Structure 1
Amino acid sequence: MDAVSAPSDAILILNAGSSSIKFELFKVVEDRAETRLDGQMEGIGASPHLIARDARRQVLADKRWAGPDVADHVSALARIMEGIEPAIEGRRIIAVGHRVVHGGPDLAAPMLVDDAAMETLRGLMPLAPLHQPHNIAGIVAASQRFPGVPQVACFDTAFHRAHPWEADTFGLPPEYYARGIRRYGFHGLSYEYISDRLRREEPALAAGRVVVAHLGNGSSLCAIHGGRSIDSTMGFTALDGVPMGTRCGQIDPGVLLHLMLTEKMEAAELTGLLYGNAGLKGMSGISQDVRDLEKSADPRAAQALSYYAWRVRREIGALAAAMGGIDGLVFTAGIGENARNLRARICEGLEHLGLVLDPSANEANAPEISTPFSHTRVLVRATDEEAMIARHVLDLLHCSKSA
């Protein structure tokens, strides 16, 4: 047993949003982090609801409060800890890991959070105004709840920081790039987890050219060559690329100028449209949930799904071109792991990339859904961003201990 941990130690992972905190508790076993429980507090300040489950998916806590009783992230974390305390069984929280959406151009590795680091993170808020403030609120809440316990920030942009310059820049004068206006890419913790999993399970494929499709309410794709991110569909913000649950994806910037100048839309109204009333929800006028759209007889639902599949298929081809070819395609996240019909529609027409889908394997949600004759392998893998954060936290604690 390493001196940095003891059998009763645990790591808490937090993913704080505007009105929610997702959490996962890992027990530390030698140099590994094993899931103990997970859950979410949603509806903070409005209709707070805590749900927590153990590693066997048994419900440990299911509680609701009035909005004023859980008004902010500090009170939400207190309620979370009260709700899961019986299941912690006296384990000592030795660190808290946080998903932080934006690390800017320079933060490319997990870091211990101190006062200076907090100032740096706050300085990045203009780059992710809808995400970063809530991530920081989670760190503040955890610091108050666990004084003196290390807080570790892990960045969604970090995995993409080794991109070639061509994949990161816009067609603007270079001074804008120097001021941080560049393509950052997101979902990096998910891509890092999948890349690491492939390295352990499919080492030959991991050494090659893989497109990973992280398809969920937030969707993006990443080109990974030899375990290194080469390009990603998301750019300066998490709006770019393929359409998502409520976000538009790629859009001609001239459309935004038109909406501002001709339709007289202000920044707040544009933000609401592009982030909250576009994508599958906006196009269908029904729902952002693929399951709802697949059941609907409304032609707008079919059009939204068709557009989604078209855009994802197009980006697979573009990312394959960025790597000079493709050896594997991996579907992950909520839609990628479960939406069989949509996966099939995405793969239609990719035969020119050597991809041949096995309909039976796809319908069965098998780990590999391509035929044995497919030059490009197609896999389905569950992602686990929290486990990736826990691994980073352990590594950082060990490094700090040995330094």
Structure 2
Amino acid sequence: MKNKAPIKSPGVNILAINSGSSSIKFSVYRLNGHLERILDGNVDRIGLKDTRLDYNNLATEKQGNLRLDLSDHKSVANFLIGWLEEQLDFSMISGIGHRVVFGMKHTEPEIITQKLLDELHRIIPYDSDHLPEEIELIHVFRQRYPNLKQVACFDTAFHSKMPRVAKLLPIPRRFDTLGIQRYGFHGLSYAYLMAEFGRVAGKKVAQGRVVLAHLGSGASMVAVHKGKSMDTSMGFTPAGGLMMGTRSGDLDPGVAWFMMKSENLSPKQFNTLINHESGLLGISETSSDMQDLLESQTTDIRAAEAVELFCYQVKKWIGAFAAVLGGLDTLVFSGGMGENAPEIRSRICEELGFLGIKIDEKRNKTNAPVISTDKGITAVRVIHTDEEWMIAKTVSQMLTLTKD
């Protein structure tokens, strides 16, 4: 579908690319004193039967969607790049920002160079589920637009200053020298949420004891105090912590060993099992999408158990992080489920009165910004996350710093 009039927006324009576990989001921003979004879209439900592209051209006020007969990230990424070229006058783009899930020693955003790409290639074994697709997107843009600056925004950076004890893994110390430690992820989301939390609640409140819950197809949580990550649910890879759409989350090593032996699984097969066949999908045997499970839970015990287990695990992490923080002042829900699933929020917060959490169900059903009761000691908020905005902001800052 050709766009006969590609967007032309004079000035500084930034393309933000956010590749996730089951989606690729993108946004184009114009920098005009502030970041103004002029085009955005999302390829969602990658890996499921009904993959689709939804887009919103804010410049022409045109919205639309396309059904995609594509089943994996690679084919979707190649399609998306071609589609974007039809929508945009790329001569107006000043820079591209990419969410890079795993940064290892890279704790600040960086202009993408061949040296950085070589380093990212080297650490692919540490995150083989995200880095190959991210690197491929970067390569395609570099080949087509070699003079266009691209910036890597690392999802692990937000957690880089976690206390040492929160990073350590109880395994032989020699592995620590290889970089085998807890890194944490969803950092761009958490950086945005903390900035937005400070804006709506005040900087002083944002310095308190906060638990952020990013609950989407990929799900994690973080304990924050004085604006810094103190601990997080994901660990060495994004497969750790909470159960997710298709990821197992934390798993007893003995269970992993037993499964590999009993089913004679290769390392690659085991990685596929815990990253793509487990979580909500594994328990329900039907879907990795929470909305699907909520709709079928009354007639399908497998769906009901998947929903129950997810809520139970989130509840446990809230309690654990309250212990880490020495109490809790604010709980923030975000991500697809966190922002749009009142039943999930309600079930998670059940029996958390001992932490001062009391939910106002009327507010909760409307996804209100504050869903706790006025009498609740601990504030419970719903904040829409915007990783693409965070990427664009980072790119705009980097372009200013590197301006010739």
Same fold (TM over 0.5): yes
Q: Are residues 1:95 and 2:95 paired?
A: yes
Partner of 1:116: 115
Match of 1:330 among 318, 327, 332: 332
Once the 2 structures are TM-superposed, how far is the Cα of residue 72 of structure 1 from its aligned partner? 5.1
Tell me if structure 2 keeps the 8 A contact 1:18–1:134.
Answer: no
Match of 1:84 among 77, 83, 87: 87
Separation (CA, whole Å) in 1 of partners of 2:13 and 2:210: 34
Match of 1:359 among 358, 361, 372: 361
Tell me if structure 2 keeps the 8 A contact 1:367–1:379.
Answer: yes
Once the 2 structures are TM-superposed, how far is the Cα of residue 19 of structure 1 from its aligned partner? 9.0
Once the 2 structures are TM-superposed, how far is the Cα of residue 66 of structure 1 from its aligned partner? 7.5
Partner of 2:5: none
Separation (CA, whole Å) in 2 of partners of 1:301 and 1:57: 41
Q: What are the superposed Cα offsets for residues 223-245 of structure 1, whole Å, 9 maximum, x if unpaired?
A: 11111111100001111111111
Equivalent AA in structure 1 for residue 133 of structure 2? H
- The secondary structure found in structure 1 opposite 2:251 is coil
Match of 2:16 among 13, 27, 46: 13
What pairs with 1:203-242 in structure 2 (closer than 5 Å)?
Answer: 203-242=203-242
Equivalent AA in structure 2 for residue 249 of structure 1? G
Please identify, of 298-307 and 331-340, the stretch whose mean Cα deviation from structure 2 is larger: 298-307
Once the 2 structures are TM-superposed, how far is the Cα of residue 57 of structure 1 from its aligned partner? 10
Once the 2 structures are TM-superposed, how far is the Cα of residue 263 of structure 1 from its aligned partner? 2.9
- The secondary structure found in structure 2 opposite 1:245 is coil
Equivalent AA in structure 1 for residue 135 of structure 2? I
Q: What are the superposed Cα offsets for residues 26-79 of structure 1, whole Å, 9 maximum, x if unpaired?
A: 11113x2211111145779x9996542123895456456877xx9857843542
Once the 2 structures are TM-superposed, how far is the Cα of residue 269 of structure 1 from its aligned partner? 2.1
Q: Are residues 1:175 and 2:170 paired?
A: no
Separation (CA, whole Å) in 1 of partners of 2:77 and 2:335: 29
Separation (CA, whole Å) in 2 of partners of 1:235 and 1:65: 33
Match of 2:30 among 27, 30, 44: 27
Cα distance change on mapping 1:397 and 1:81 into 2, 3 Å: same
Equivalent AA in structure 2 for residue 351 of structure 1? G
Q: What are the superposed Cα offsets for residues 259-295 of structure 1, whole Å, 9 maximum, x if unpaired?
A: 1223322222212221111111110112122222112
Once the 2 structures are TM-superposed, how far is the Cα of residue 401 of structure 1 from its aligned partner? 2.6
Separation (CA, whole Å) in 2 of partners of 1:161 and 1:273: 29
Separation (CA, whole Å) in 1 of partners of 2:289 and 2:50: 21
Partner of 1:196: 195
Equivalent AA in structure 1 for residue 398 of structure 2? L
Cα distance change on mapping 1:191 and 1:262 into 2, 3 Å: same
Tell me if structure 1 keeps the 8 A contact 2:22–2:217.
Answer: no
- The secondary structure found in structure 1 opposite 2:402 is helix
Cα distance change on mapping 1:19 and 1:327 into 2, 3 Å: closer
Q: Are residues 1:306 and 2:295 paired?
A: no
Once the 2 structures are TM-superposed, how far is the Cα of residue 334 of structure 1 from its aligned partner? 0.3
Separation (CA, whole Å) in 2 of partners of 1:362 and 1:65: 34
Once the 2 structures are TM-superposed, how far is the Cα of residue 169 of structure 1 from its aligned partner? 0.7
Tell me if structure 2 keeps the 8 A contact 1:13–1:25.
Answer: yes
What pairs with 1:39-118 in structure 2 (closer than 5 Å)?
Answer: 39-40=41-42, 50-55=53-58, 58-60=61-63, 62-63=65-66, 75-85=78-88, 92-104=92-104, 106-118=105-117
Equivalent AA in structure 2 for residue 255 of structure 1? V
Tell me if structure 2 keeps the 8 A contact 1:249–1:279.
Answer: yes
Partner of 1:3: none
Equivalent AA in structure 1 for residue 82 of structure 2? R
- The secondary structure found in structure 1 opposite 2:403 is helix
Once the 2 structures are TM-superposed, how far is the Cα of residue 205 of structure 1 from its aligned partner? 2.1
Match of 2:382 among 380, 383, 397: 380
Equivalent AA in structure 2 for residue 100 of structure 1? V
Separation (CA, whole Å) in 2 of partners of 1:331 and 1:74: 29
Cα distance change on mapping 1:285 and 1:77 into 2, 3 Å: closer
Separation (CA, whole Å) in 2 of partners of 1:333 and 1:71: 24
Unaligned regions of 5+ residues in structure 1, if any? 1-5
Tell me if structure 2 keeps the 8 A contact 1:61–1:84.
Answer: no
Tell me if structure 2 keeps the 8 A contact 1:78–1:145.
Answer: no
Q: Are residues 1:347 and 2:349 paired?
A: yes
Q: What are the superposed Cα offsets for residues 202-234 of structure 1, whole Å, 9 maximum, x if unpaired?
A: 123201010000001010000111111111000
Tell me if structure 1 keeps the 8 A contact 2:21–2:217.
Answer: no
Q: What are the superposed Cα offsets for residues 241-261 of structure 1, whole Å, 9 maximum, x if unpaired?
A: 111111111110110111122
Tell me if structure 1 keeps the 8 A contact 2:159–2:229.
Answer: yes
TM-score w.r.t. structure 1 length? 0.90
Unaligned regions of 5+ residues in structure 2, if any? 1-8
Partner of 2:38: 36
Q: What are the superposed Cα offsets for residues 134-173 of structure 1, whole Å, 9 maximum, x if unpaired?
A: 1111111111222211110001111000000110111112
Once the 2 structures are TM-superposed, how far is the Cα of residue 363 of structure 1 from its aligned partner? 1.3
Equivalent AA in structure 2 for residue 142 of structure 1? F
Equivalent AA in structure 1 for residue 100 of structure 2? V
What pairs with 1:244-323 in structure 2 (closer than 5 Å)?
Answer: 244-296=244-296, 297-323=299-325
Separation (CA, whole Å) in 2 of partners of 1:63 and 1:208: 44
Equivalent AA in structure 2 for residue 114 of structure 1? T
Please identify, of 54-63 and 336-345, the stretch whose mean Cα deviation from structure 2 is larger: 54-63
- The secondary structure found in structure 1 opposite 2:120 is helix
Q: Are residues 1:153 and 2:177 paired?
A: no
- The secondary structure found in structure 2 opposite 1:401 is coil
Q: What are the superposed Cα offsets for residues 354-394 of structure 1, whole Å, 9 maximum, x if unpaired?
A: 11111111112110000111111000010000000001111
Equivalent AA in structure 2 for residue 365 of structure 1? N
Tell me if structure 2 keeps the 8 A contact 1:280–1:288.
Answer: yes
Once the 2 structures are TM-superposed, how far is the Cα of residue 21 of structure 1 from its aligned partner? 4.2
Separation (CA, whole Å) in 2 of partners of 1:48 and 1:311: 28
